[in-house]
Copies of this chain bind each other. A is one copy, B any other.
Amino acid sequence: MSAARPVLVVLYKDDLPDCMPLIEAAAEVRYVRAAELATAIPGADALLLWDFFSSAVEDVWAHADSLRWIHVAAAGVDKLLFDGLRQSGVVVTNSRGIFDRPIAEFVLGGILAMAKDLPGSLRRQRDGVWEHRETDRIDNANALIVGTGSIGRETARLLRAVGMRIEGVGRTARTNDADFGTVHASADIESVVGEHDYVVLIAPLTDATRGLVDASVLAAMKPSARLINVGRGELVHEGALADALSQGVIAGAALDVFSTEPLPATSPLWRLENVLISAHLSGDAAGWLERLSALFADNFGRYTAGAELLNVVDKELGFVPGG
Protein backbone atom coordinates (compact mmCIF):
# COMPACT_ATOMS: atom_id res chain seq x y z
CA MET A 1 0.00 0.00 0.00
CA SER A 2 1.34 3.36 -1.01
CA ALA A 3 1.22 6.21 1.46
CA ALA A 4 -0.92 8.25 -0.93
CA ARG A 5 -4.65 7.54 -1.14
CA PRO A 6 -5.30 5.36 -4.17
CA VAL A 7 -7.38 6.79 -6.97
CA LEU A 8 -10.42 4.67 -7.85
CA VAL A 9 -12.60 5.23 -10.90
CA VAL A 10 -16.13 3.85 -10.65
CA LEU A 11 -17.80 3.33 -14.01
CA TYR A 12 -21.55 3.26 -13.37
CA LYS A 13 -24.80 3.75 -15.19
CA ASP A 14 -27.63 4.29 -12.68
CA ASP A 15 -27.09 3.55 -9.00
CA LEU A 16 -23.81 3.28 -7.10
CA PRO A 17 -22.72 0.40 -4.88
CA ASP A 18 -23.73 0.57 -1.20
CA CYS A 19 -20.13 0.32 -0.08
CA MET A 20 -18.97 3.63 -1.54
CA PRO A 21 -19.01 5.68 1.70
CA LEU A 22 -16.63 3.11 3.16
CA ILE A 23 -14.40 3.20 0.09
CA GLU A 24 -14.34 7.00 0.02
CA ALA A 25 -12.77 7.00 3.47
CA ALA A 26 -9.75 5.24 1.99
CA ALA A 27 -9.56 6.45 -1.61
CA GLU A 28 -10.06 9.34 -3.97
CA VAL A 29 -13.07 8.22 -5.96
CA ARG A 30 -14.08 9.46 -9.40
CA TYR A 31 -17.61 8.47 -10.45
CA VAL A 32 -18.08 8.44 -14.19
CA ARG A 33 -20.29 7.17 -16.94
CA ALA A 34 -18.76 5.60 -20.07
CA ALA A 35 -18.48 8.87 -22.01
CA GLU A 36 -16.42 10.46 -19.22
CA LEU A 37 -14.06 7.51 -18.69
CA ALA A 38 -11.25 8.88 -20.91
CA THR A 39 -10.88 12.02 -18.80
CA ALA A 40 -11.14 10.19 -15.47
CA ILE A 41 -8.77 7.29 -16.08
CA PRO A 42 -5.40 9.12 -16.18
CA GLY A 43 -3.77 8.79 -12.77
CA ALA A 44 -6.25 6.13 -11.60
CA ASP A 45 -4.86 3.10 -9.75
CA ALA A 46 -8.03 1.04 -9.80
CA LEU A 47 -11.21 0.80 -11.84
CA LEU A 48 -14.51 -0.67 -10.72
CA LEU A 49 -16.74 -1.71 -13.62
CA TRP A 50 -20.04 -1.38 -11.79
CA ASP A 51 -21.63 -0.87 -15.20
CA PHE A 52 -20.51 -4.37 -16.02
CA PHE A 53 -21.84 -4.59 -19.57
CA SER A 54 -19.75 -1.64 -20.69
CA SER A 55 -16.94 -2.27 -23.16
CA ALA A 56 -15.59 1.27 -22.73
CA VAL A 57 -12.21 0.29 -21.26
CA GLU A 58 -10.56 -0.62 -24.56
CA ASP A 59 -11.50 2.78 -26.02
CA VAL A 60 -9.68 4.66 -23.24
CA TRP A 61 -6.80 2.24 -22.80
CA ALA A 62 -4.17 4.70 -24.04
CA HIS A 63 -5.09 7.01 -21.14
CA ALA A 64 -4.78 4.34 -18.43
CA ASP A 65 -1.33 5.49 -17.41
CA SER A 66 -1.15 4.15 -13.87
CA LEU A 67 -3.90 1.50 -13.70
CA ARG A 68 -3.07 -1.60 -11.68
CA TRP A 69 -6.42 -3.27 -11.04
CA ILE A 70 -9.84 -3.64 -12.65
CA HIS A 71 -12.71 -5.23 -10.71
CA VAL A 72 -15.81 -6.32 -12.66
CA ALA A 73 -19.22 -6.56 -11.01
CA ALA A 74 -20.06 -9.60 -13.15
CA ALA A 75 -18.95 -13.18 -13.63
CA GLY A 76 -18.19 -12.99 -17.35
CA VAL A 77 -15.31 -10.73 -18.44
CA ASP A 78 -15.66 -11.32 -22.20
CA LYS A 79 -16.91 -7.77 -22.79
CA LEU A 80 -13.88 -6.35 -21.01
CA LEU A 81 -10.88 -8.34 -22.24
CA PHE A 82 -8.76 -7.14 -25.18
CA ASP A 83 -5.16 -7.74 -26.23
CA GLY A 84 -3.72 -4.58 -24.68
CA LEU A 85 -5.20 -5.47 -21.29
CA ARG A 86 -4.16 -9.12 -21.60
CA GLN A 87 -0.55 -8.12 -22.28
CA SER A 88 -0.45 -5.51 -19.53
CA GLY A 89 0.31 -6.01 -15.86
CA VAL A 90 -3.18 -4.84 -14.87
CA VAL A 91 -4.89 -7.40 -12.62
CA VAL A 92 -8.52 -8.23 -13.44
CA THR A 93 -10.86 -9.63 -10.79
CA ASN A 94 -14.50 -10.62 -11.18
CA SER A 95 -17.56 -11.38 -9.06
CA ARG A 96 -17.33 -15.13 -9.17
CA GLY A 97 -19.65 -16.81 -6.68
CA ILE A 98 -22.38 -14.17 -6.42
CA PHE A 99 -24.39 -15.60 -9.30
CA ASP A 100 -23.90 -19.32 -8.64
CA ARG A 101 -26.99 -20.15 -6.65
CA PRO A 102 -29.45 -17.80 -8.43
CA ILE A 103 -28.40 -19.16 -11.82
CA ALA A 104 -28.55 -22.77 -10.65
CA GLU A 105 -32.11 -22.13 -9.43
CA PHE A 106 -32.99 -20.43 -12.70
CA VAL A 107 -31.72 -23.42 -14.69
CA LEU A 108 -33.76 -25.83 -12.58
CA GLY A 109 -36.79 -23.57 -12.97
CA GLY A 110 -36.35 -23.56 -16.74
CA ILE A 111 -35.99 -27.35 -16.85
CA LEU A 112 -39.11 -27.85 -14.74
CA ALA A 113 -41.07 -25.26 -16.71
CA MET A 114 -40.37 -27.13 -19.93
CA ALA A 115 -40.88 -30.59 -18.37
CA LYS A 116 -44.26 -29.54 -16.97
CA ASP A 117 -45.21 -27.45 -20.05
CA LEU A 118 -45.85 -24.37 -18.04
CA PRO A 119 -45.74 -22.11 -21.12
CA GLY A 120 -48.43 -24.34 -22.66
CA SER A 121 -50.58 -23.97 -19.55
CA LEU A 122 -50.16 -20.18 -19.61
CA ARG A 123 -51.11 -20.05 -23.30
CA ARG A 124 -54.25 -22.08 -22.61
CA GLN A 125 -55.02 -19.91 -19.57
CA ARG A 126 -54.88 -16.79 -21.74
CA ASP A 127 -57.33 -18.41 -24.14
CA GLY A 128 -59.52 -19.81 -21.34
CA VAL A 129 -58.83 -23.37 -22.51
CA TRP A 130 -58.86 -26.32 -20.08
CA GLU A 131 -56.86 -29.17 -21.59
CA HIS A 132 -55.31 -32.07 -19.71
CA ARG A 133 -51.88 -33.22 -20.93
CA GLU A 134 -49.21 -35.60 -19.71
CA THR A 135 -46.04 -33.99 -18.36
CA ASP A 136 -42.42 -35.17 -18.20
CA ARG A 137 -40.60 -36.31 -15.09
CA ILE A 138 -37.13 -35.00 -14.40
CA ASP A 139 -35.91 -37.71 -12.04
CA ASN A 140 -33.28 -39.69 -13.89
CA ALA A 141 -33.38 -37.27 -16.81
CA ASN A 142 -29.91 -36.61 -18.21
CA ALA A 143 -28.41 -33.13 -18.21
CA LEU A 144 -25.17 -32.06 -19.84
CA ILE A 145 -23.72 -28.95 -18.23
CA VAL A 146 -21.33 -27.09 -20.53
CA GLY A 147 -19.02 -25.12 -18.25
CA THR A 148 -17.35 -26.43 -15.11
CA GLY A 149 -16.72 -23.16 -13.27
CA SER A 150 -18.41 -22.19 -10.04
CA ILE A 151 -21.84 -21.58 -11.61
CA GLY A 152 -21.71 -24.87 -13.52
CA ARG A 153 -20.74 -26.69 -10.35
CA GLU A 154 -23.54 -25.18 -8.28
CA THR A 155 -25.95 -26.07 -11.09
CA ALA A 156 -24.62 -29.63 -11.19
CA ARG A 157 -25.11 -30.00 -7.43
CA LEU A 158 -28.65 -28.62 -7.56
CA LEU A 159 -29.73 -30.80 -10.49
CA ARG A 160 -28.21 -33.85 -8.82
CA ALA A 161 -30.05 -33.00 -5.60
CA VAL A 162 -33.36 -33.36 -7.45
CA GLY A 163 -32.41 -36.70 -8.94
CA MET A 164 -31.11 -35.78 -12.40
CA ARG A 165 -28.09 -37.50 -13.94
CA ILE A 166 -25.35 -35.01 -14.71
CA GLU A 167 -22.29 -34.89 -16.88
CA GLY A 168 -20.08 -31.91 -17.64
CA VAL A 169 -18.30 -30.43 -20.61
CA GLY A 170 -15.08 -28.55 -19.94
CA ARG A 171 -11.70 -27.73 -21.42
CA THR A 172 -10.29 -31.17 -20.69
CA ALA A 173 -11.87 -34.57 -20.28
CA ARG A 174 -11.73 -36.16 -16.84
CA THR A 175 -13.57 -38.64 -14.65
CA ASN A 176 -14.42 -38.74 -10.95
CA ASP A 177 -15.00 -35.00 -10.80
CA ALA A 178 -16.59 -34.22 -7.42
CA ASP A 179 -19.58 -32.38 -8.91
CA PHE A 180 -19.88 -33.77 -12.42
CA GLY A 181 -18.54 -37.30 -12.30
CA THR A 182 -17.61 -37.42 -15.97
CA VAL A 183 -16.43 -34.26 -17.73
CA HIS A 184 -16.12 -34.44 -21.52
CA ALA A 185 -13.77 -32.24 -23.52
CA SER A 186 -15.62 -29.49 -25.40
CA ALA A 187 -14.09 -30.82 -28.63
CA ASP A 188 -16.20 -33.96 -28.10
CA ILE A 189 -19.52 -32.26 -27.42
CA GLU A 190 -21.13 -33.42 -30.66
CA SER A 191 -20.53 -37.07 -29.82
CA VAL A 192 -21.98 -36.89 -26.28
CA VAL A 193 -24.83 -34.42 -26.60
CA GLY A 194 -27.21 -37.06 -28.01
CA GLU A 195 -27.40 -38.84 -24.65
CA HIS A 196 -28.97 -35.90 -22.85
CA ASP A 197 -32.47 -34.56 -22.25
CA TYR A 198 -31.27 -31.12 -21.20
CA VAL A 199 -28.15 -29.27 -22.37
CA VAL A 200 -27.20 -26.34 -20.14
CA LEU A 201 -24.77 -23.68 -21.39
CA ILE A 202 -22.97 -21.87 -18.60
CA ALA A 203 -19.41 -21.63 -19.94
CA PRO A 204 -17.47 -18.36 -20.10
CA LEU A 205 -17.27 -16.88 -23.59
CA THR A 206 -13.73 -17.40 -24.88
CA ASP A 207 -12.14 -18.24 -28.21
CA ALA A 208 -12.54 -21.88 -27.19
CA THR A 209 -16.28 -21.69 -26.50
CA ARG A 210 -17.52 -19.13 -29.03
CA GLY A 211 -19.98 -20.87 -31.37
CA LEU A 212 -19.51 -24.20 -29.59
CA VAL A 213 -23.14 -25.17 -30.20
CA ASP A 214 -23.58 -25.04 -33.96
CA ALA A 215 -25.97 -26.71 -36.40
CA SER A 216 -24.10 -30.03 -36.15
CA VAL A 217 -24.28 -30.12 -32.36
CA LEU A 218 -27.97 -29.21 -32.45
CA ALA A 219 -28.59 -31.96 -35.02
CA ALA A 220 -26.83 -34.45 -32.73
CA MET A 221 -29.24 -33.66 -29.84
CA LYS A 222 -32.36 -35.76 -29.21
CA PRO A 223 -35.48 -34.38 -30.89
CA SER A 224 -37.00 -34.35 -27.38
CA ALA A 225 -34.06 -32.44 -25.88
CA ARG A 226 -34.10 -28.88 -24.58
CA LEU A 227 -31.35 -26.29 -24.49
CA ILE A 228 -30.87 -23.84 -21.63
CA ASN A 229 -28.49 -20.92 -22.17
CA VAL A 230 -27.56 -18.85 -19.13
CA GLY A 231 -23.95 -18.25 -20.25
CA ARG A 232 -23.50 -16.00 -23.24
CA GLY A 233 -25.49 -15.77 -26.47
CA GLU A 234 -22.39 -16.28 -28.59
CA LEU A 235 -21.88 -19.80 -27.23
CA VAL A 236 -24.56 -20.79 -29.77
CA HIS A 237 -25.04 -20.10 -33.46
CA GLU A 238 -28.27 -18.20 -32.90
CA GLY A 239 -29.54 -18.62 -36.45
CA ALA A 240 -28.95 -22.36 -36.38
CA LEU A 241 -30.71 -22.51 -33.01
CA ALA A 242 -33.78 -20.68 -34.30
CA ASP A 243 -33.89 -23.08 -37.28
CA ALA A 244 -33.50 -26.15 -35.03
CA LEU A 245 -36.30 -24.94 -32.76
CA SER A 246 -38.71 -24.05 -35.55
CA GLN A 247 -38.04 -27.30 -37.43
CA GLY A 248 -38.32 -29.59 -34.41
CA VAL A 249 -34.67 -30.66 -34.50
CA ILE A 250 -34.82 -30.08 -30.74
CA ALA A 251 -37.92 -29.68 -28.57
CA GLY A 252 -37.39 -26.40 -26.81
CA ALA A 253 -35.12 -23.81 -25.27
CA ALA A 254 -34.94 -21.45 -22.32
CA LEU A 255 -32.70 -18.55 -23.29
CA ASP A 256 -31.56 -15.81 -20.92
CA VAL A 257 -28.66 -14.52 -23.05
CA PHE A 258 -28.36 -13.55 -26.70
CA SER A 259 -25.73 -12.50 -29.22
CA THR A 260 -27.24 -9.02 -29.21
CA GLU A 261 -28.94 -7.71 -26.08
CA PRO A 262 -31.64 -6.53 -25.85
CA LEU A 263 -32.72 -9.23 -28.31
CA PRO A 264 -33.66 -7.38 -31.52
CA ALA A 265 -37.33 -7.26 -32.47
CA THR A 266 -36.43 -8.95 -35.76
CA SER A 267 -35.21 -12.15 -34.04
CA PRO A 268 -37.43 -15.14 -34.87
CA LEU A 269 -36.76 -16.45 -31.34
CA TRP A 270 -39.32 -14.00 -29.89
CA ARG A 271 -42.12 -15.74 -31.74
CA LEU A 272 -41.30 -19.43 -31.28
CA GLU A 273 -43.78 -21.18 -28.98
CA ASN A 274 -41.14 -23.63 -27.74
CA VAL A 275 -38.78 -20.87 -26.61
CA LEU A 276 -38.76 -19.18 -23.25
CA ILE A 277 -37.04 -15.79 -23.39
CA SER A 278 -35.83 -13.81 -20.38
CA ALA A 279 -33.86 -10.57 -20.25
CA HIS A 280 -30.39 -11.62 -19.00
CA LEU A 281 -31.59 -11.83 -15.42
CA SER A 282 -30.91 -15.42 -14.34
CA GLY A 283 -28.24 -14.43 -11.80
CA ASP A 284 -29.87 -11.28 -10.55
CA ALA A 285 -31.78 -12.45 -7.51
CA ALA A 286 -32.82 -10.17 -4.64
CA GLY A 287 -29.72 -9.01 -2.80
CA TRP A 288 -27.35 -9.40 -5.77
CA LEU A 289 -26.31 -5.73 -5.85
CA GLU A 290 -25.59 -5.74 -2.12
CA ARG A 291 -23.52 -8.91 -2.55
CA LEU A 292 -21.62 -7.45 -5.52
CA SER A 293 -20.91 -4.34 -3.47
CA ALA A 294 -19.72 -6.33 -0.44
CA LEU A 295 -17.41 -8.43 -2.61
CA PHE A 296 -15.86 -5.31 -4.12
CA ALA A 297 -15.40 -3.78 -0.67
CA ASP A 298 -13.66 -6.97 0.47
CA ASN A 299 -11.35 -6.89 -2.54
CA PHE A 300 -10.70 -3.17 -2.16
CA GLY A 301 -9.61 -3.74 1.43
CA ARG A 302 -7.23 -6.41 0.19
CA TYR A 303 -5.93 -4.06 -2.49
CA THR A 304 -5.16 -1.25 -0.06
CA ALA A 305 -3.58 -3.74 2.37
CA GLY A 306 -1.44 -5.20 -0.40
CA ALA A 307 -3.03 -8.61 0.25
CA GLU A 308 -3.96 -11.25 -2.31
CA LEU A 309 -7.06 -10.31 -4.31
CA LEU A 310 -10.08 -12.58 -4.60
CA ASN A 311 -11.20 -13.92 -7.99
CA VAL A 312 -8.18 -13.05 -10.12
CA VAL A 313 -9.02 -13.72 -13.77
CA ASP A 314 -6.55 -15.60 -15.94
CA LYS A 315 -6.59 -13.09 -18.79
CA GLU A 316 -5.45 -15.68 -21.35
CA LEU A 317 -8.11 -18.23 -20.35
CA GLY A 318 -10.76 -15.56 -19.86
CA PHE A 319 -12.01 -16.70 -16.45
CA VAL A 320 -10.94 -17.46 -12.88
CA PRO A 321 -9.35 -20.91 -13.06
CA GLY A 322 -9.80 -23.74 -10.57
CA GLY A 323 -12.51 -25.55 -8.61
Contact = CB atoms under 8 A, between A and B. Distances in A.
A98 B287 CA distance: 39
Contact of A130 (B158, B263, B288): B263
B161 A135 contact: no
A106 to B, nearest CB: 6
A177 interface: no
A246 to B, nearest CB: 15
A19 B245 CA distance: 38
Interface string A123-144: 0110010111111111100000
A109 B106 contact: no
A112 B116 contact: no
Interface string A266-301: 000010000111111110111110000000000000
Question: Which has the most chain B C-beta neighbours within 10 Å: A115, A263, A265?
Answer: A115
A62 interface: no
Nearest to A133: B281
Contact of A105 (B124, B138, B277): B138
A41 to B, nearest CB: 27
A322 interface: no
A136 B121 CA distance: 22
A119 B277 CA distance: 11
Given A162-B162, A262-B130, A285 B105 contact: no
A135 B106 contact: yes
Contacts of A138: 105
Contacts of A281: 132-135
A134 B132 CA distance: 32
Contacts of A124: 277, 279
Contacts of A276: 118, 121-122, 125
Given A105-B137, A135-B102, A161-B162, A130 B286 contact: no
A23 interface: no
Contacts of A116: 105-106, 109, 278, 282
B279 A133 contact: yes
A136 B285 CA distance: 5
B284 A134 contact: yes
A233 to B, nearest CB: 13
A184 interface: no
Nearest to A125: B277
Interface of A: 101-102, 105-106, 108-109, 112-113, 115-116, 118-119, 121-122, 124-125, 128, 130-139, 158, 161-162, 261-263, 265, 270, 275-282, 284-288
Which 6 pairs of residues, A with B, have the shortest CB-CB distance? Answer: A109-B112, A130-B262, A121-B278, A161-B161, A137-B285, A125-B277
Given A118-B278, A158-B162, 5 more contacts: A108-B162, A133-B284, A135-B286, A137-B285, A162-B162
20 contacts: A101-B137, A101-B139, A102-B135, A106-B116, A116-B278, A118-B278, A119-B122, A121-B279, A122-B122, A125-B275, A125-B277, A128-B270, A130-B262, A132-B279, A132-B284, A133-B279, A133-B281, A134-B286, A135-B282, A137-B285
